[in-house]
Chain A
Amino acid sequence: MQFWQSLALTEMDELIELAKIAEEVGFAGITISDHLATPRVIRTRYPYTEDGKPMWEADDDFPDTWVLIAALAQETTRIRFMPFVYVLPMRDPFSVAKLLSSAAVLSGDRVVLGAGTGWMEEEFALVQREFSRRGRRTDEMIEVIGKLLCGGPVDHEGEFYSFEGVHIAPSPSRPVEIRIGGLNRAALRRAARHDGWLGLNHTPDEIREIVTFLDDERKSLGRSDRNFDVMIAYYPAAPESPNARDGGEYVQFRDVGVDSVNVPPWRYRGLGGVSLDEKRRSLEDFAERYILPLSN
């Protein structure tokens, strides 16, 4: 099992040190959250909380995904980076391809594109991009981005984008892995067409059902032989036995097909505002308790 640490909603001046520590203690990657700006009034319902309200405040830091990845990559050597998730249809595929390829090249191919279709209509309005049809536009964007990242001149004729002889340089030396977030069937189908699915907080039973659905989809697409990563965002709620070094609750997720875990940021674990030293200890403790027993 692979563990990624979310650096969302974490003190800006600690991010670099935390990425280094995470790499040192054995995390596979770092995830980053993407929001351009937070409106004072959000009418769209946030789909991932019970009350429909977002889990952050308007003045919380959301650093730019790609600029931050380049900075963190310069200070580390092995750990990977992924936005969890980057809202593709708020952008155009050319700008995304340029940002993504820049980060991929500068990090030595340590970037995964974690993508979603977005939910906050107000944020789409800010950047003057269409909110409806964003699922279909996301699909075509991924196709266009994939073509552009291969290097060389590209032609494309589609529903949303049509062009000839366009290329971006530099391009990454190998294809960038694409994993898709979202809970509905459309998102799961989209994930099955790419390299992974990004989930949130689920029970093992829910995961079993989702994995079956993903497997069936991938089989019907002839993609069963390809690598595919199922990730959840989960942290054991109940305090576990202090001496346990057996992987704890994560074992049951592994057994139903979870490959990776995005460990929620400190604030979501009731540890908002703890010092850098305490964060370091929590990463070391997590590694001992879960990463070592479950490393594969």
Chain B
Amino acid sequence: MQFWQAIARTQVDQLVPIAQLVEKLGFSGVTMSDHIVRLQKIASRYPYSATGEMAADESTPYLDPWVLVGALSRATKTLRFMPYVYIPALRDPFSVAKSISTAAVVSNDRILIGIGVGWMAEEFALVERMFEKRGRRTDELLAVMRKLMTGEMVEHHGEFYDFPPVQMAPAPRLSPPILVGGHSPLALRRAAASEGWLGVNYDLEAVLPILHTLRDLRRASGREELPFDAAIALNTPPEPEELVRLEEAGVTMIVNPPLLCPTGEMSSFSEKRDRLEAYAARYIASSGA
């Protein structure tokens, strides 16, 4: 089992020391969030909380995930990075492929691409990208991105994107895995066709049926033997026997939520350090990682 730490919403000046600390403590990677803007009025419902509101306020920092990878990867050696989740459909496939390729190159291939199709209609409107059909557009966008990231002269003629031969460089040496977030039937199908699934804020009993569904989908499409990651952020820290059940069900990555509660948004580095050390002592040391 890999243990990952969410660093979303962490104060900017603590990001580098936190990344260095979690690497030292044996975490496999860190996850970050993606929002281009925040809006004072949001009519869209946030799908991952009971209230439908985001646990963030106006001053909560959201750095661009790939720019952040640029900095953190140069401050660490083995730590891996994954947005949880990045919304490609807010961008065009060229800008997406360009950012991710460069992040892959400067980090020596230490990135995973965690994606979602997005939920905040207002954010799509601002950047003039269509909110409707964003699922299908995301699929085509990722296909275009994969083509561009081969570094070859490529062309594409699809429903949303159509272009003559172009070439993009630098290209990553390895194609970074794509993990898909969300639990709608469509999201699960998309995940099953990719390299992994990302779960957000689940109870153990809710997540097991989803993992079974993913296994069935992958079996049905003949992808059962291919590598597949399942990452989850649980509502409550797992007990040792729960970890065993999760591992048996196919979970490969546990994501520890951001270090905000109960110490609060502005907790100090030393408060965070104490909690990370306690977490690592409980989970990582005992798992032999």
Footprint of B on A, CB under 8 Å? Answer: 12, 16, 36-41, 58-64, 66-71, 73-75, 91-92, 94-95, 98-99, 102-103, 105-106, 125-128, 148, 151-153, 163-170
The residue in chain A whose Cβ has the minimal distance to the Cβ of B42 is A165
Cβ–Cβ contact B166 & A98, under 8 A: no
Which stretch (B100-108, B202-210, B245-253, B254-262) binds chain A?
B100-108
Task: Let me know if B224 is at the binding interface, CB within 8 A.
Answer: no
Interface size class of B (residues with CB under 8 A): 35 or more
Question: A292 vs B68: C-alpha distance in the bound complex, in angstroms?
Answer: 35
Cβ–Cβ contact B63 & A92, under 8 A: no
Cβ–Cβ contact B94 & A126, under 8 A: yes
CB distance from B78 to the nearest CB of A (A): 16
Question: A164 vs B71: C-alpha distance in the bound complex, in angstroms?
Answer: 32
Known: A36-B94, A170-B12. A126 touches B67 (CB 8 A): no
Cβ–Cβ contact A61 & B166, under 8 A: no
Q: List 5 contacting pairs A-B, 8 Å CB cutoff, sorted by A.
A: A16-B106, A62-B169, A67-B102, A71-B73, A98-B64
Which stretch (B32-40, B47-55, B181-189, B235-243) binds chain A?
B32-40
Known: A59-B167, A71-B106, A95-B91. A170 touches B61 (CB 8 A): yes
Residue-wise, chain B 148-171 has the 8 Å CB interface mask toward A (1 for contact) of: 100101000000000111111110
Chain A residues, Cβ within 8 Å of B101: 63-64
The residue in chain B whose Cβ has the minimal distance to the Cβ of A75 is B74
The SS class assigned to the A binding surface is: mixed
Cβ–Cβ contact A37 & B168, under 8 A: yes
Chain B residues, Cβ within 8 Å of A151: 59
Residue-wise, chain B 55-72 has the 8 Å CB interface mask toward A (1 for contact) of: 000111111101111111
Task: Let me know if B278 is at the binding interface, CB within 8 A.
Answer: no
Known: A126-B163, A127-B95. A153 touches B40 (CB 8 A): yes
Task: Let me know if B271 is at the binding interface, CB within 8 A.
Answer: no
Known: A58-B153, A74-B71, A92-B126. A126 touches B92 (CB 8 A): yes
CB distance from A200 to the nearest CB of B (A): 24
Chain A residues, Cβ within 8 Å of B94: 36-37, 126-127
Pick from A67, A98, A106, A170: contact of B103, CB under 8 Å: A67
Cβ–Cβ contact A168 & B38, under 8 A: yes
